[in-house]
Structure 1
Amino acid sequence: MRTWGRWCAAALMAVALVMAGTAGVAAAESNGGVRVMPLGDSITEGTQVPGGYRIGLWQRLAAGRYTVDFVGSQFNGPGSLGDHDHEGHPGWRIDQIDANISGWLRTYTPRTVLLHIGTNDVLQNYNVAGAPQRLSTLIDHITTAVPDADVFVATIIPLSNSGQESAARTFNAAIPGIVQSKVNSGKRVHLVDMHSKLTTSDLIDGIHPTAGGYDKMAAAWYGALQSVSGSIGQPGSGNPGAGAIKGVGSGRCLDVSGASQANGAQAQIWDCNGQANQQWTATASGELRVYGGKCLDVYGAGTADGANVIIWDCNGQTNQQWRFNSDGTITAVGANKCLDVPNYSTANGVKLQIWSCGGAANQRWTRS
């Protein structure tokens, strides 16, 4: 069993890494929303401004009440970024992304892909004339692997070096025709004119945007996503939106005891009945809301095994943030422990708690 001291040290280190914007690979974050994969190179990763455009995009999605889950094998950005997952790889060219894309798509099955790639082909002068065809092939591989996904293909942003900027413009000029050819063949591919949204004054080092430049990218992505129905779900509902959360072991639903709306009312399992006290909405900030303004909450911000799970006025604290995991478990973010039915019970009225994650049926849940 992990001691309290070791847990604190690990938690503090994790927070420090996120706050410093350190890049890395980590367990995927998920709020159960529409899976969006930011895909590309260092501009997706956020070189110079860790998190890059994903910061402003996340903020716009949250303000618009969209429930979105960024996905990918990489992880970085500030603590204010609600979901740090992405597929941005500094220094990578189109062919390097293409060599790995099928595996990533199998693992993360995105509903939407945001693709900004080609800058390193230009910077490395890597067969630039062949770059449009490489991009076309990459798009084909994406649409084959996830045919129901919407793929947003951006023109690459400006470069300060005049020769490289000329090559970038030539590459960009081919992209509308590539996208149109995919549309003509029935693919869900969309053009995003990113190049025109920034100027060289928006670059911090001649290549990567300033914070303001990244925010301009965020605005362009957000506008494009809003223009395509379904690509980020519906505002205020997300995907899957309000609904029941059912225990795998018990077959009963996450329920507020006595249908109470009072602060401190305990969460329990009960026969699924579709009533308001069993209707939970995952928000972009990681909350599980019931009755509109009450949140699933770990009592007293507890972190110990056995801490009670209740409802309370939503306040944005980490003891009201929950993460849906691919194995069906639901992690209490503040405690890093799982929503748990004590003693594997299946009876009506059993009060819920958090407990060290083990992945057993009493810690696994399905949504409907």
Structure 2
Amino acid sequence: MTRKRHRLRCTFAATVAAAAAFAGMAAGASGAHAASAPSVRSTPLPPELEKIRAAEATRLYGDPAERAMADRRTGLISLGDSEISGEGVGSYEAGTNGPDNWCHRSPDSAIHRTGIPADETYNVACSGAYTGNIRIGGSKQYADELVQSDSLAIKARNTRIKMVLLVAGANDDLQFGPVMTDCVERYLLLQGACQSKYEPGWQGRVDALVPKVEGTVNDLKTVMRDAGYADGSYKLVVMGYPSPIGPDFHDDPNFPGKLVCGGLGYDSDTVWGRNTAVPAFEVGMRKVAKDTGVTYLDNSRLFNGHEVCMEDAWARGLYIDLSKPGLPDENSVRQSFHPNYRGHGAFASCLTQLYDSGATEGSCADPASTGTPTLQTLAWDDAYRPLKNEATGSCLDVTASTSANGTAVIGWDCHGGRNQGWWYDADRKSVHTQLTQDRCLDVPGANYTAGAKLIIWNCSGAANQEWVRQSGGLRPAAATGLCATLGAAKDPLTLRPCDGTASQRFA
């Protein structure tokens, strides 16, 4: 998501090169939402765009005419920045891998891999794009690129667009790429964590970018209306960003070290990124979708359990493309901390499920570490709630907000923090901590005995992570005569024989 104008300092480039050397470089169609054929005719394009449209129509159909909606091929299109262009996948379309164009569009990006039936799939997103490269009347990112809304205008007249996907905002006020670069640089140069540098102004950055993304969505709706589409004849999806990093890689027994897997950064910064920075961004993107009346896909938890340096990572860590000449610079490291091939496969699965569901809002995650994402037709913001003990008035709390395997669950004064938020997945009977979708309430060692202390552990779908909710209580599905019990306000959560008392009820 790095902006084209951003440049790394020489000290960083040299340090990255040294780190790399030390590490040995180891490491056509119908569907539930198929657009109906609007009767409104499209407005004429400017001559230069009409020329491009006519040439494209000739390639598609054999002549330049703009066809009636019902006679067109169907299409899907993605617009936005590096998160959806394919940056990080490693395979890129000709002409987008430098030296004069770094859009890094991949034929393996999500829009080309959904299960949504369509004759044509278009990826016009570009690494480094900000909203000014997408909006009506915006600026070209490179000389051989169109403003992305102009590309949409052309595709919408030559095909019957069923879904428009927008992923944007990270390169506006948030400046997510330069922030990530700075955090890595500070780690390599032993300058201290970056959290204290960025956290005070982070919410202000999110607040500033929201109206820009809202304006972009409204511009895309205008483009589609001008192309003859009614608002309800296609699906416009704003997709949020997943957190590429997290602190739980230490639980991997085969963790190779940060230099090898590319997880270069302070652990405290990975906690801040996952627990604060990305969630604030997600809330902003959800507001965009609500304010503009479009569909929202919350992917903020999608990579939980699949972050950089985890066993099945869906994002790249620090990556240096040594095929680029000279010392590492912006363009040789730009693929770092972006979704990889598996990450785009996860995006594609979530988009397909959302499209097929007909929902206007959905959240996607891998709830049992199966490697298969699952859509929930709800918002994570609304799903997680505190569990307040009726007897003590205290809340179930993940000790010290630490999501490592084996962390104790205790009672604590209610404060509304993420370590006191819980979600019960009724389909899998699992209880997830709000810290990460990848940690569940667990009976350690399946020890179903009175006094057993409960913990969080990597969500696996195992029987010792299945719970039955009954009369305000939580019972292990494999031992329903026992109940999760909070004996005193700040006691560990333990199993006790069910007795119906308030210490076993959580509101």
**TM range, smaller chain:** 0.3 to 0.5
| Structure ID, larger Rg | 2
**TM-score, with length taken from structure 2:** 0.25
Higher relative contact order (CA 8 A, sep 6+): 1
Structure with greater strand percent: 1
